[in-house]
């Protein structure tokens, strides 16, 4: 782990994510039927699933990635990284719970939602370049293998990965919620299943199954174009299941309102983030990357940049 670099833009971004997390906690306490269990889902996901994987991956060097070091770090990752990942998945699942669709479709739809968010967020994160104690560093820097298929300087499989990262968690959380309900909402089950879901999701992440989704490993090499094939294949499958869920299975009834007043967090995550990232990305197409020492419009955009996520 290197020394912390005080970069105002990164600090502002961390603060924005933490504010969003606090709002989410208040929402959970106010709206969820079993708020303690949902808060344990938050803890389990952040500290026992996403953070463990992110810390491991960002320690492996070539073929993986690293984060610029700000003041709010959990070992070698910003603590706000796993937090925003949970915010995206949680808000997606809450929207899906407002409609009557089969549970088996939800891991696919949640994975698709996470991937779409990543396509709007990662291009910004890799452009946020500053001079740090570790040298010239982006907020999130990938080190692809030579000859590896890439999008925005990242391996194609990075975007595919969001489908199964969110999908694994959604599968085990839905099973846990079913188990909790079946046992009459037993407190002990409610305390246990969020952490079991985290452990099982992490086991899947480190299993050969993930590389099969990435590039059909071990049948093909990571540097092959199977990364493109798997990204396209999983995208088509998840989009198809999304269409099937809402065209064939949905009964056109809504279980509860998702108006801005009642479901404010949904509109923050789904409406506020991607358009802002799209604007910033296209602004930079004409004005270049953000680098320490720059001033004027780029610095203003940097302060609005990357509203809820690092990559």
Q: Do residues 132 and 71 lie in contact, with contact meaning Cβ atoms separated by under 8 Å?
A: no
Q: Do residues 227 and 215 lie in contact, with contact meaning Cβ atoms separated by under 8 Å?
A: yes
HSE at residue 94, side-chain half, CA atoms within 13 A, is 24
Among 256, 261, 268, smallest CA distance to 24 is for: 268
pLDDT tens track for 26-35: 999 999 999 9
Bond before 218 cis per omega within 30 degrees = yes
Q: pLDDT in tens for each of the 311 residues of the chain?
A: 456 667 788 788 889 999 999 999 999 999 999 999 999 999 999 999 999 999 999 998 888 888 888 778 898 899 999 999 999 999 999 999 999 999 999 999 999 999 999 888 787 778 877 777 777 777 788 899 999 999 988 999 999 999 999 999 999 999 999 999 999 999 999 999 999 999 999 999 999 999 999 999 999 999 999 999 999 999 999 999 999 999 999 988 887 665 555 554 444 444 444 444 433 333 333 333 333 333 333 332 233 333 333 33
pTM: 0.83
């Amino acid at each position: 782990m290197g020394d912390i670099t005080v970069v105002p833009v990164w600090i502002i971004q961390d603060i924005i994510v933490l504010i969003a997390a606090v709002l989410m906690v208040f929402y959970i306490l106010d709206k969820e039927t079993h708020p303690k269990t949902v808060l344990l889902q938050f803890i389990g996901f952040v500290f026992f699933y996403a953070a463990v994987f992110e810390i491991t991956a960002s320690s492996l060097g070539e073929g993986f990635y690293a984060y610029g070091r700000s003041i709010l770090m959990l070992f070698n990752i910003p603590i706000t990284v796993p937090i925003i990942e949970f915010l995206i998945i949680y808000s997606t699942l809450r929207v899906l719970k407002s409609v009557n669709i089969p549970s088996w479709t939800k891991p696919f739809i949640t994975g698709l939602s996470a991937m779409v968010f990543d396509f709007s967020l990662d291009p910004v994160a890799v452009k946020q370049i500053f001079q740090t104690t570790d040298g010239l560093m982006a907020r999130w820097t990938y080190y692809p293998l030579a000859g590896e298929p890439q999008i925005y300087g990242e391996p194609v499989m990075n975007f595919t990965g969001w489908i199964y990262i969110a999908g694994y968690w959604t599968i085990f959380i839905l099973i846990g919620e079913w188990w909790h309900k079946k046992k009459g909402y037993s407190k002990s089950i409610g305390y246990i299943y969020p952490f079991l879901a985290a452990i099982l999701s992490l086991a899947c992440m480190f299993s050969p199954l993930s590389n099969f989704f990435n590039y059909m490993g071990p049948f093909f090499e990571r540097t092959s174009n199977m990364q493109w094939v798997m990204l396209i294949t999983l995208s088509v499958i998840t989009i198809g299941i999304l269409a099937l869920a809402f065209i064939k299975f949905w009964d056109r009834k809504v279980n509860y309102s998702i108006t801005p007043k009642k479901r404010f967090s949904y509109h923050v995550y789904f409406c506020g983030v991607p358009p802002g990232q799209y604007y910033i990305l296209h602004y930079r197409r004409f004005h270049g990357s953000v680098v320490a020492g720059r001033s004027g419009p780029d610095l203003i955009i940097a302060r609005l940049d990357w509203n809820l996520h690092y990559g």
